[in-house]
Structures are given as structure tokens and as C-alpha cells.
Structure 1
């Protein structure tokens, strides 16, 4: 579907600076300027909540042009605003990257969407053997979630910086059967994207980290995106916080290492790189039309956390149908960070929306409802005439 272009004004940057510095914004002119002021006000109100994140940044991209809205601070105790070049954990938005790798290999004929775990990874439990790459990518595999296993959680609680052998994460649930017949229902599982990366390695003979560089980073010119093993973040970075009022926000930016998330959520990026990636990924730039048609076959299912509007799951991509139109993308949440990255179907416009606390249905349902409403407003700005 062809969507019309947005009219995003330089006023966004002025309003953002006014919010950070505590200055009164200039009076709205009319029309779009008034809408921009409303978006800024919504961000200000979000960080002003007792349970709100210390910082939020939204980058809206139209071609080579970018506009930034932000509120709060990049680090509690400072006056430094969040910046598009700040590093951050992108959490489960990393699943779009593993999807990009796998679909890129499918496009090259090295993998097939109906290839099974038994064919590509025969060392995994035989009971999982019928699961296909397609089912892993749209979360209909039935694989038990390794990150929910008691053994995995015990290790993390005892040593948050524990370095896991990322390629062995599925061992935590290797003794468990599938949770349902593959393809019969939707259930979001972190195990799915671990298996996706392992299939990509088996098919290509290359390590997943190298596949990210050759299949994703270089074609899209992502220069500040990486998949670390440790807990440190490149500087400068957006500090992520655990917000539990009335206690002061606790900095958890480096509380956990990335090795226990790996292909399901370990990537570190910046708002600038994330918005660039999602423009290319949502627009189908990395794959040909035949694979693209397969990717955009959707089933009912929400990302984690749910994104704006109605959520449906494709192959490592979600369709968000809002009151203003459709965008494709992915969300994510982890300790200290919550992410939304979406793009238009033609890839000409994209949005990265990042907050510096963990927001999800199980922990902060009221805050998530407000966040999704704000995100929908930003999607509408992205799609506006």
C-alpha cells in the first residue's frame, strides 16, 4: 500500500531542547506545529509519571532526513539529554536482526523456510525435529523458552555477569517436549531466535556475528551496532533504570551480560542505527520479492511487549495496524530498556522509540497502555500527509 509523506518540522528539535533544558516552548503555529507540540507534551508527561522512565527519545526518519524528540535525561543526576548517537540495549528488537540474517540466507538459496531442525541441527532433541525455520520465525514452533527455565534464572540471579556459551542456551530446555504441535498456535519464545541463528550458522558455515556484519550491518551501513558477550556498553550510552517508586531509579544498564540473550535480544545499537535498520528491513531491502511475500504472511500474535494498535506476527516482523495506517517492525524489553522500531512498507520512513526503563504487561500494565497510546501518536506523525 502506498502511504503519503510526513511533514516533520525542524520545530521538533527546538521543542526537544526546550524540554531538556526546562525552557518554555515557542507557541505552536497551527496544524502540524500544534501536533508536534502535542507529541512533545506526551513525552514530557511520560517521564513525569512516578513510574515513568528517566528518559525517552524518538527518532523519525524520512529518507536521509531525521527529526528527534526527547524528554528527560540520558543519566539520572546529569542534565545530559538522550541523543540519537547514544548506545543502548535493543532487547528483542534484535530478533528482527536474526530474522534478517535467516531470510537473507533463504534469499541466497542457502536455507529454506521449510527446512527442519532435524535436517539442519540434528544434535538438538529429536522431539523438536519437525520444527521448521518458518515456524521459528513466526513463533509457532512450540519450543520451550530457555529464558524461563529455573536453572537459567538461578544462574542469572547468582551471577548477573555470568558469561554463557550462547550456542548452548537451548540446553536449558533440551529435556522438555514441545509445548504444542508446531504450526498449530502462536507463542512468543526466546528459544526460537536462538535456533534461527544456529540454523543460519549450520547452513552458511559462518559464525552468527559475522553473518550480522555481512548480511545486515554492511548493506545498511550500520556502524554503531554490535552483538557483545559481556555486560559493558560502548560510550556514550543511554543509562537504563529499574523504576520502583517511591524508591529512586536504580541504574541497571550494565547489570546483565548479553551472552544469555545472544540472537534473541543481545544486540547493542543507537537510535540512529536502529531507525536506519528498520527502514531497510521493513521496506524489504535485504531480500527479494519472493521471500518478502513469505515474510509478510501474518498470524495473530503480539510482539513482547505489544506494540501500537493491532499486532500480527510475520516472519521475524510484526504488522502494527494503527488508526492511521500500517507499519512493520518489532518491539523489545529488557532490564532498563523498552524499544519500538517500525518502518513503512516501502521503507521510506521509519521510527525508533526508546525508553530507559522496562515496560511490559506483566510488570507495568498501566504504563504499557499509555506507552502504546503514545507510540500510536508517533506512528500517526510518521504517516501523516
Structure 2
């Protein structure tokens, strides 16, 4: 699910370029889309406030683009758009379809060329867990229930069950560097970063949703942070990325076992790290 922060960055990059607006309806951007999904706005999809419920596909089960649009069109709504919060993988796949439609190059191509980059580097960071472009180097084997995971990055696709919501892979150092570059305005324009941090759904408990991230007040770690976490499924991996805006520091932690997760490691060291200890 850390992939969602990259998807959100791509969407805001396209907003900054004038290709779409946050209040555009998904049905006006993706031909053939119907049902409640068509009524959701880009902003609602980014903040998980669209009301969409259910799943459009299963991890590592082949799903092509047309079938994904058809499945998304069948999703129901659990609340009025913009009136509540409901985490939705399907909403982020719909955002990937919007990127695919409006980027002029296709979803994976746009992500690789424009978003999965670091300043001063002429190469892509990371890649897609399954398919191309793939990460460079060997992949760590995840553990599921203490045994090697079945998913090793060799799924042949098509990939639209996971595109946009959980499809990327990279090293922890790449993720930490990208997190810093994102919030410093070096991946997308500074104006797009301002839009990212200023597009908010307040949960009322010290946490707020922003596109692709969660904003936490000082309660959790002693200082405000932006964070995103994900894991589970059949890969056996989990990860968390953090941006500390007051000190402009980034952190990424990865784990290949549920026995000690990246989020648990963050909880163990986060307060001391935030305090500079």
C-alpha cells in the first residue's frame, strides 16, 4: 500500500500540469466506467472518501484493463461521497486508470518515467513487483506463516487488480530518499506538494488523510509526521515510510516477516528518532 503514495504523487503531477482537476468525476475521465465509481471525484478517491466498498479483484489473479473497469463499475457505495472515510484499494486502482488514460503514455510508463525518480539521477528507482519495468537486483523473499512466500515477483499478469494500490517494489534506502525528495518538491512541483499537504480529510482523532499519506499530530511520536504503511497479502513483505516536516528528515523501514513488522519497529524507535536521540 506504500505504492499509493506514488500513485497520489502522479495524480497531483497531472493536476499541476492541467490535465485534470481534483473535482473532476472519475466517470468523465475513464470511458466505460459506471455505477457509484463514476460519480466519485478525484479528490474523494485520493482521500478514501468516495464511499466505494468491496473489491474489484484479488491479488495476483489476472485482470485486464477492460475487466477492471467493468468490476469497478459494479462496486457499491457504503456512504455518500465525501461524507465519510472508507479505505479503498479499488479507489487507487481507479486513480491508476485515470493516470493511464490522461498521461499520454500509460500508467506504468508514466510512473517509471516521471514519478519513480530522484533528483540528480538519470535512472529509475525500484520498479514493479511483477512485470516490467522490474526493480534492479535480487528480491528479498517474504515469509508468510513462517514459510517462504508464494509470490516471488513472477506473476505474468495482467495486473489491474493491484495497479495503483500495491504494485511497487524498491529498497528501503530508495524509499527513504524518494520520500524526502517528494516533500522537498523534487519529484513533483512545490505547488503540487502544497496541494498534496493541503488536501485533507480530518479524522478528528489527531490523524488526517492526505493524498497517499496519513498526517499525524505530535501525539504519536512527539512531533507531527506524515506516514504511509502497507504489507500483508501473499508477498510476505511490509513497509513504512515517514517524513518529519519540522526537521526535514525521512525514514523508511521494511520487514519480510509479520513476526516483527515495519510499523512495530517504527513504534519502537520513532519517538526517540523524532527527539534526536
Q: TM-score, normalised by structure 2?
A: 0.82
1:235 to partner: Cα distance: 3.8
1:119-134 correspondence runs (5 A):
119-134=28-43
1:210-359 correspondence runs (5 A):
210-220=109-119, 221=121, 223-230=124-131, 235-243=137-145, 249-252=146-149, 254=151, 257=155, 259=159, 260-296=161-197, 297-300=199-202, 311-321=207-217, 322-334=220-232, 335=234, 336-345=236-245, 348-358=248-258
Q: Distance in 2 between matches of 1:332 and 1:375?
A: 13
Say whether 1:378 aligns with 2:258.
no
Higher Rg: 1
Measured on the aligned residues, the alpha-carbon RMSD in Å equals 3.0
Q: Distance in 1 between matches of 2:182 and 2:148?
A: 32
Say whether 1:116 aligns with 2:7.
no
**Alignment counterpart, residue 16 of structure 2, candidates 91, 97, 107:** 107
Kept in 1: contact 2:47–2:211 (CA 8 A): yes
| Match in the other structure for 1:207 | 106
Kept in 2: contact 1:318–1:330 (CA 8 A): yes
Kept in 2: contact 1:351–1:382 (CA 8 A): no
1:183 to partner: Cα distance: 0.4
Note the alpha carbon deviations across 1:196-239, whole angstroms, 9 max, x for none: 11112222222011111232123544634112544997642221
Note the alpha carbon deviations across 1:131-150, whole angstroms, 9 max, x for none: 11000001001123325xxx
Say whether 1:190 aligns with 2:89.
yes
Relative to structure 1, the CA distance from residue 281 to residue 269 in structure 2 (aligned partners, 3 Å threshold; closer, same or farther) is same
Bigger RCO (CA 8 Å, 6+ sep): 1
Note the alpha carbon deviations across 1:35-72, whole angstroms, 9 max, x for none: xxxxxxxxxxxxxxxxxxxxxxxxxxxxxxxxxxxxxx
1:47-126 correspondence runs (5 A):
92-126=1-35
Q: Distance in 2 between matches of 1:237 and 1:127?
A: 38
Note the alpha carbon deviations across 1:213-266, whole angstroms, 9 max, x for none: 2321235446341125449976422210012xxxxx110062673723121101
SS in 2 for 1:313: strand
Q: TM-score, normalised by structure 1?
A: 0.61
Relative to structure 1, the CA distance from residue 182 to residue 345 in structure 2 (aligned partners, 3 Å threshold; closer, same or farther) is same
Give the aligned length: 264
Q: Distance in 1 between matches of 2:241 and 2:248?
A: 14
SS in 1 for 2:164: helix
Relative to structure 1, the CA distance from residue 347 to residue 140 in structure 2 (aligned partners, 3 Å threshold; closer, same or farther) is farther
Kept in 2: contact 1:110–1:203 (CA 8 A): yes
Q: Distance in 1 between matches of 2:194 and 2:117?
A: 24
SS in 2 for 1:378: helix
Relative to structure 1, the CA distance from residue 372 to residue 103 in structure 2 (aligned partners, 3 Å threshold; closer, same or farther) is same
1:178 to partner: Cα distance: 2.0
Relative to structure 1, the CA distance from residue 347 to residue 266 in structure 2 (aligned partners, 3 Å threshold; closer, same or farther) is farther
1:313 to partner: Cα distance: 0.9
Kept in 2: contact 1:145–1:173 (CA 8 A): no
